[in-house]
Amino acid sequence: MRGTPERQSPIFHTFNVEDLIEPDHPLRAIKRMVDRALSDMSRTFNAAYSDVGRPGVPPETLLKALLLQCLYTVRSERELCRRLKTDLLFRWFLDLQPSDEVFDHAVFSHNRERLAEHGITPKFFDTVVKQALALGLTSDEHFTVDGTLIQSHASLKSLKRIEREERRKDDDPPSGGRNASVDFKGEKRANATHRSTTDPEAKLYKKGDGVGAFLCHSAHALSENRHGLIVAVRVEEANGTAERVSALRMLDHAERRHGVRPWTLGADKGYDAGPFLVELEKRWIEPHIAIKSGRIDPMSERSDQGTWARWFVRQEQRKAGFRTSQRRRKLVEEFFGWVK
């Protein structure tokens, strides 16, 4: 027979949220790993918070909420808090009961400085990486490094001459509304002379010939080659050497924090530089790096140690291991695709 909708809602509901989550849901495995990592960070959390005062939103909840935002591509923290009000899956992941009140989105802004000051977010990342290494989910021999440009939210209109901006610091802000017109006609803009007033750390940089420069930051990642798991990340100032400098810093961090010493390192042609290859050899890392086209003459008068290193890597390109590294290094590009 035909059923009819129930017009009157019951006052109380009796159910277990755990029973509503599918047994094979991907978030179950993620939650177990994340909860284990956060429990290991209890001392770090204690150092970041006072012993007196009104209890705030647990840092574990904030970090797990930010993880949900990344996994489900929630566009803003405000939207994330809206979704927490109606999504039982999200509440279950954050250990919130259906009757619990959802915190305001401003909590993220209030705690962001605290998380950065005590290095909580990178420690959380390193703790998860440590678990993956202990479980044998990653390679401890073959790795890849890559970088990309992350465009700043700052507008090109925010660029001001550095000396002019220094003089204006003590003056009233210029009028003209939130989106005042700016005329750069006849004025050459460069990082040495101009700086963004809304994002001073962003630098003008262009990705290649025929592409206009834009304000951006340089993001870098070190990944293992078995599954493409990221073991180290850095964000640096965008310049011509950021990729290679960051690569060495991430390698040093991976060894210092996790005891990882790669046998091979794959990378694209952006890392083809003699001094960088020499530094890898000093670390006993075999460079599986794409070499730019052109003649390399290690016997010339201007030849140095870097020239010999580039010549040697080019000879290695014919080997199967080198080709495998170049093929597996594409995995790290998936990470940058998710970030963007």
**pLDDT 10s digits, 315-340:** 888 899 999 999 999 999 999 888 77
Distance, in Å, from the CA atom of 223 to the CA atom of 250, rounded to the nearest integer, reads 10
Mean pLDDT taken over the chain: 88
Q: What's the pLDDT at 306?
A: 86
User: How buried is 170 (Cβ within 10 angstroms: 0-12 exposed, 13-18 middle, 19+ buried)?
Assistant: exposed
At 173-201, the pLDDT tens digits run 555 556 555 655 556 888 888 889 999 99
Task: Tell me what the mean pLDDT of segment 128-144 comes to.
Answer: 93
Other C-beta atoms lying within 10 Å of the C-beta of residue 210? 6
pLDDT of 212 reads 80
- Taken in order 65, 71, 72, 78, is the CA torsion positive or negative? positive
Q: Label the pairing between strands 203-205 and 194-196.
A: unpaired
pLDDT for position 231: 96
d(CA 335, CA 103): 30
For 260, the 3-state DSSP assignment is: coil
Residue pair 226/262 in contact (Cβ under 8 Å)? The answer is: no
DSSP, collapsed to helix, strand or coil, labels residue 22 as coil
Cα separation, 10 vs 276, in Å, equals 68
Question: Contact 100/17 with Cβ under 8 angstroms?
Answer: no
Question: 283-312 as b/e, with b when 16 or more CB fall inside 10 Å?
Answer: eebbbbbbbeeeebeeeeeeeeebbbbbbb
Q: According to DSSP H, which parts of the chain are helical? A: 17-20, 26-39, 42-48, 59-71, 77-86, 88-93, 106-117, 120-134, 162-168, 242-258, 274-282, 305-316, 320-328, 331-339
pLDDT of residue 3: 77
Distance from first CA to last CA of the chain, Å, rounded?
52
- Pairing mode of beta strands 264-267, 142-151: parallel
Cα 265 from Cα 225, distance rounded (Å): 9
pLDDT, mean of residues 212-225: 92
- Cβ atoms 316, 322 nearer than 8 A: yes
Task: Please list, in sequence order, all residues whose beta carbon lies within 8 angstroms of the beta carbon of residue 290, skipping any fewer than 6 positions away.
Answer: 267, 268, 269, 272, 317, 326
- Decide: 242 and 218 in contact? Cβ < 8 Å: yes
pLDDT of res. 62: 95
CA distance 55 to 196: 38
Using one digit for the tens of pLDDT, what is the confidence trace for 278-323?
A: 999 999 999 999 999 888 888 787 788 888 888 889 988 889 999 9
CA 155 from centre of chain: 22
The residue ranges of every structural domain in the chain are: 17-126, 139-149+221-339
CATH architecture of 139-149+221-339: 2-Layer Sandwich (3.30)
What average pLDDT does this structure show over 13-33? Answer: 91
